[in-house]
């Protein structure tokens, strides 16, 4: 990119927040106009109402920071914030219209259409804008912030690996500065992690405005104190971020909260809380009811096949750990001749003699898991989530595999991110369990309704057969 082109791109990026605000204002007014123009006249109450609401939305948006380039917020987070702010502004406007007795001037059907369509249009505009930035359309490019890390070589590489994926390309790591005389490490796979020098070098470069963000991830007793480093960077134009113990970033998402004016980092808490928990429960009830309705006849045929093919009960229940480590009874179709929940549990292996011929078919096709939808309806499981392991297996790996018990911070599921990525079946090695845990924690950190739908779609498209299902 030439210097003139880079200056043009910089000007376009800096003007983008203003253009976005103007377009949001235009969208809010135009959507109301389109909602009423076919049936009603575009008269003064509608004009004033749209102007007041659009200006209120812009003020709220600026206060909430949705027009500011923020590497800590994903596109999904921005979209949710747009919906949140819109409904906040609209509810305030409706309350004001009621109190001032002017609601009779507006068509309820038109206003309801406007209320529903506008936030969708605002988010769609941001989708188009993101695609334009990604493709470079009209010279638009994503706003990239150049960052460096202060920390030991191992900590610097670890933090860069974690943040690069979560920042969606908006954060570009130039390299790292060692707080002591640790030897530099090799560049990472993408060649973005270079050893840049000592802390004195950092101060000089930061004061010159070479960096947008400085991430301090120092260990105790490593060269200068944290206070000294912050003091050195106090007059630089860079944003200085202090990163707590990196262990908190490898397990579950953390968030900063304010308690009596004191900033605190929340490390272990329910990832699905409040509105998210309600959404996931509604998803389980709606999809679970639909699936049980569709699969009622196949489940009856399977039950008959089990009774005819081998002696014993149709179902078996096994004790497993659920949400917050609470014991639950998980239902399955019986696929083995031995079905007791015994203490000396051993996982099913390939060509396991305990598996019946009909049971082998059920296990290969995962049809033996269908009764777990009863667990979903009862609330002890979800359709999507980390698979519940038998208690004996959980006790075996619970303290050996890092982050294993954090899987229990959400309800276990029938299918999950680990399963659709091939990490299912027997976990006869520590590596297999570690990979399953890593995928489960990725799911917990990044949960959304759309992520659940994606996992369910992959499960259905790939079918239930898998080479590790036996």
Mind listing the pLDDT tens digit for each residue in 398-451? 677 777 878 888 899 999 999 888 887 766 677 888 888 888 888 888 888 888
Tell me which of 467 and 289 has the higher pLDDT.
Answer: 289
Taking the CB of residue 435, how many other CB atoms lie within 10 A of it?
16
180 touches 222 (CB < 8 A): yes
* pLDDT for res 221: 52
What is the per-residue pLDDT across 116-135, written as a single tens digit (0 to 9) for each? Answer: 999 999 999 888 887 776 66
Q: What pLDDT sits at residue 255?
A: 60
**Which is more confidently placed, 430 or 140?**
430
> Who has greater pLDDT, 154 or 296?
296
Higher-scoring residue by pLDDT: 108, 466: 108
> What CA–CA distance (Å, rounded) separates 9 from 5?
6
Distance CA 442, CA 432 (A): 16
Q: What is the mean pLDDT of the chain?
A: 77
Res. 300 pLDDT band, cuts 50 70 90: very high
pLDDT tens, position by position, 77-119: 778 888 888 998 999 998 888 888 888 888 888 889 999 999 9
User: What distance in Å separates the CA atoms of residue 457 and residue 330, rounded to the nearest whole number?
Assistant: 24
Return the closest-CA partner of residue 156 out of 175, 172, 169, 170. Answer: 175
Give residue for tokens 């392991």.
Answer: 389
**Residue 90: what pLDDT?**
92
Note the Cα 285 to chain centre separation in Å: 22
Ranges 206-210, 324-328, 391-395: which has the least confidence: 391-395
How far apart are the C-alpha atoms of 40 and 111, rounded to whole Å?
12
Whole-number pLDDT of residue 378: 92
| Residues 48-63, mean pLDDT to the nearest whole number | 90
Element containing residue 436 per DSSP (H, E): helix 430-445
Residue 308 · residue 357 · CB < 8 Å = no
In the block, tokens 């960052």 appear at 147
* Whether pLDDT at 179 is above 60: yes
Residue 168 has pLDDT above 80, yes or no: no
Which H or E run contains 116?
helix 108-135
Nearest CA among 70, 245, 265, 66 for reference residue 167: 70
Hey, what are 271's tokens?
């990832």
**Model pTM greater than 0.95?**
no
User: Residues with Cβ < 8 Å from 447, sequence gap 6 or more?
Assistant: 271, 272, 276, 280, 410
Least confident of 263-277, 293-307, 447-461: 263-277
Give the pLDDT score at 404: 81
Mean pLDDT for the stretch of residues 192-210: 81
14 or 294: which leads in pLDDT: 294
Segment 203-221 mean pLDDT: 80
| pLDDT number for residue 186 | 47
pLDDT at 380: 92
Question: Residue 165: its pLDDT value, please?
Answer: 55
More confident residue, 259 or 412: 412
Averaged pLDDT, 247-251: 51
Q: Which two tokens stand for residue 77?
A: 């987070």
Report, as an integer, the average pLDDT of 136-164.
71
How many Cβ atoms sit within 10 Å of the Cβ of residue 178?
Answer: 26
pLDDT band per the 50, 70, 90 thresholds, residue 270: low
- 15-39 pLDDT, tens per residue? 677 888 899 999 999 999 998 887 7
Euclidean distance between CA atoms 176 and 147, whole angstroms: 9
The residues near 343 (Cβ < 8 Å, ≥ 6 apart) are: 392
Q: How confident is the model at residue 386 (pLDDT cuts 50, 70, 90)?
A: very high
Q: pLDDT tens digit string along 348-374?
A: 556 566 778 887 888 878 888 899 999
> What confidence score (pLDDT) does residue 43 get?
85
- Would you state the structure tokens that stand for residue 340, as one six-digit string? 């007791």
Instruction: Name the residue among 387, 383, 404, 406 with its Cα closest to residue 455.
Output: 383
The three-state secondary structure class of 76 is helix
DSSP tag of 105: G
Q: What count of other Cβ atoms lies within 10 Å of the Cβ of residue 122? A: 23
Structure tokens at 149: 């890390």
Q: Quote the percentage of the chain above a pLDDT of 90.
A: 16
């Amino acid at each position: 990119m030439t210097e003139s082109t880079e200056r043009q791109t910089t000007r376009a990026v800096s003007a983008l927040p203003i253009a976005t605000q103007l377009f949001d204002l235009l969208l809010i007014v135009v959507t109301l106009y389109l909602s009423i123009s076919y049936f009603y006249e575009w008269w003064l109450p509608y004009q004033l109402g749209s102007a007041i609401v659009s200006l209120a939305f812009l003020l709220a948006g600026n206060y909430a920071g949705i027009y500011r380039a923020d590497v800590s917020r994903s596109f999904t987070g921005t979209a949710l914030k747009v919906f949140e702010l819109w409904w906040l502004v609209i509810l305030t406007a409706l309350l004001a219209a009621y109190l001032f007795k002017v609601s009779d001037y507006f068509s309820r059907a038109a206003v309801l259409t406007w209320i529903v369509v506008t936030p969708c249009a605002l988010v769609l505009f941001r989708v188009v804008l993101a695609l334009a930035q990604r493709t470079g359309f009209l010279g638009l490019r994503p706003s990239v912030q150049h960052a460096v890390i202060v920390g030991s070589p191992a900590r610097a590489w670890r933090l860069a690996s974690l943040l690069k994926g979560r920042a969606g390309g908006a954060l570009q790591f130039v390299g790292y500065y060692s707080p002591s005389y640790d030897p530099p490490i090799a560049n990472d796979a993408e060649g973005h992690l270079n050893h840049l020098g000592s802390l004195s070098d950092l101060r000089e470069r930061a004061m010159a405005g070479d960096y947008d963000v400085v991430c301090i991830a120092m260990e105790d007793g490593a060269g200068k104190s944290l206070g000294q480093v912050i003091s050195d960077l106090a007059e630089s134009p860079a944003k200085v971020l202090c990163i707590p113990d990196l262990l908190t970033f490898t397990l579950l998402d953390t968030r900063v909260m304010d308690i009596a004016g004191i900033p605190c980092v929340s490390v272990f808490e329910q990832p699905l809380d409040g509105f998210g928990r309600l959404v996931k429960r509604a998803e389980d009830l709606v999809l679970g009811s639909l699936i049980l309705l569709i699969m009622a006849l196949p489940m009856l045929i399977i039950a008959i096949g089990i009774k005819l093919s081998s002696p014993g009960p149709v179902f078996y229940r096994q004790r497993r750990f659920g949400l917050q480590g609470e014991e639950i009874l998980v239902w399955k179709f019986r696929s083995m001749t031995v079905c007791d929940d015994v203490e000396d549990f051993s996982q099913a292996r390939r060509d396991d003699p305990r598996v019946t011929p009909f049971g082998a078919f059920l296990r290969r096709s995962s049809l033996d898991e269908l009764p777990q939808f009863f667990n979903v309806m009862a609330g002890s499981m979800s359709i999507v989530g980390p698979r519940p392991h038998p208690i004996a297996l959980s006790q075996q790996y619970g303290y050996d595999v890092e982050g294993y018990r954090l899987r229990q911070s959400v309800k276990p599921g029938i299918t999950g991110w680990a399963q659709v990525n091939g990490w299912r079946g027997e976990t006869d090695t520590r590596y297999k369990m570690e990979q399953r845990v890593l995928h489960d924690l990725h799911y917990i950190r990044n949960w959304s309704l759309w992520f659940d739908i994606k996992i369910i779609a992959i499960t259905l498209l790939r079918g239930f057969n898998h080479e590790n299902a036996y």
